[in-house]
Amino acid sequence: MTEPAERPAVVLVMFEWSVKYPLWDRSPGGLGLVDPEALGVLPSLAQRLRAWNEEHNDVPNGPENFTWPSRQAGVEWQRRGLDLAYALQKQLGPDVEVLYLEGGDDRPVRER
């Protein structure tokens, strides 16, 4: 894994309709999507992040009338997102703060 020249200091894992990867630069002054390759993320984790985002995209009736097929499906999807955020934090190391907003918990992943 190569280290990019300049990585964001804060990365948010957050679903968004019609994007390839659910990674957002939330560093001071930073906005917008971040490509996992630019972060130095291993391809296997990048694919898991993409699949997680696509799973939400593929649920019928969205984005205007989005609903999970069941409450449990939504809970499980959120938990997988948190697991991915933990994996991302582990890969990026202590110099990057990873965020994942779940159930009102906005603490950085490494503080959970």
Least confident range of 53-57, 60-64, 82-86, 100-104: 60-64
- Per-residue pLDDT at 77 exceeds 90: yes
Classify residue 64 by its DSSP letter: T
**Cα gap 112→63, rounded to integer Å:** 30
Sorting pLDDT into bands at 50, 70 and 90, what band is 103? Answer: confident
* Dihedral angle, C-alpha 96, 102, 107, 111, nearest 10 °: -80
**Is the torsion defined by CA of 60, 62, 67, 72 positive or negative?**
positive
List, for residues 9-31, the tens digit of each pLDDT value. Answer: 999 999 998 899 999 999 998 88
pTM: 0.89
Angle between helices 43-57 and 71-92 (to 10 degrees): 160
